[in-house]
Amino acid sequence: MPTALENGRFGDLTLDEFIARLGSAEPVPGGGSASAVAAALGASLVRMVASLSIGRPKFAEHEDLLGWAIESGQDLAGRFLDIADDDAAAYGEFAAALKLPKTTDAEAADRRSALRSAARHASEVPLTCVEACLELARVAEALAGRSNPNASSDLNVAALLAEAAAKGAAANVFVNLPSVADPPFEADITDKLTGLLSEIEDLAMQTRETVGSGEPAEPRPAPQRG
């Protein structure tokens, strides 16, 4: 997937450079990339919480789950940064389609087709971010009550970031769907997003409630890896 950056990935920028670029008049990064980067921060937080818990006798019964959370957090962080690049590239495709000539009927038809294709891609990329946010929310919820309570606020932040990033990415899906000009596709994606966002919100709420209670949770098998 090509990136809109001339000198590499957003992940290669320093934090200062990314923030400066985000606040500039440049079209990318925008809200979609920002959502993905926020989710990457959440993924790193769940990895941190699990890393602060694994190997400690107090959490020995959760050892497998903690190991899974560490691997999941690392994998998700990388995926979210890739999505940030993909989102920028998808916007670039749409912007390029907008600039296509439309002087003749044939040119206008080609332009409409290109815009619809680009809009579909610009809808599908942030959808993958929402789907990955669900994975992140599941990891955070699994760690609640099964990890170091000294890092409980960090876990809560991870869940909040998963929820916020999902809503941000979903907003980018919704804004692009009308330009796809495919009502069945729009209805299918809208239904899918509604379900994803509801599940993410529920998991984030469960995480907050468990963290807030301060009570330990029963052991839970780690999901199968790979």
What's the confidence (pLDDT) of residue 130?
98
What pLDDT, on a 0 to 100 scale, did the predictor assign at position 226?
56
Q: Per 3-state DSSP, what percentage of the chain is helix, strand, and coil (rounded to 5)?
A: 80, 0, 20
Domains delineated in the chain: 15-213 (1.20.120.680)
Contact 138, 166 (CB under 8 A): no
- The neighbour count for residue 39, using CB atoms within 10 Å, is 33
Q: What residues contact 144, with CB distance under 8 A and at least 6 apart?
A: 152, 155, 206, 207, 210, 211, 217
Tell me, what's the pLDDT at 63? 96
The predicted structure's pLDDT at residue 8: 75
Please give the C-alpha separations between residue 156 and each of 83, 102, 139, 149, 212, in angstroms, as whole numbers: 23, 51, 12, 11, 9
Segments of the chain scoring below 70 in pLDDT = 1-7, 225-226
pLDDT at position 224 is 79
Tokens coding 185? 């596709």
pTM, to two decimals: 0.93
Closest CA to 14 of 37, 32, 43: 37
User: What's the rounded Cα separation, in Å, for the pair 93 and 106?
Assistant: 20
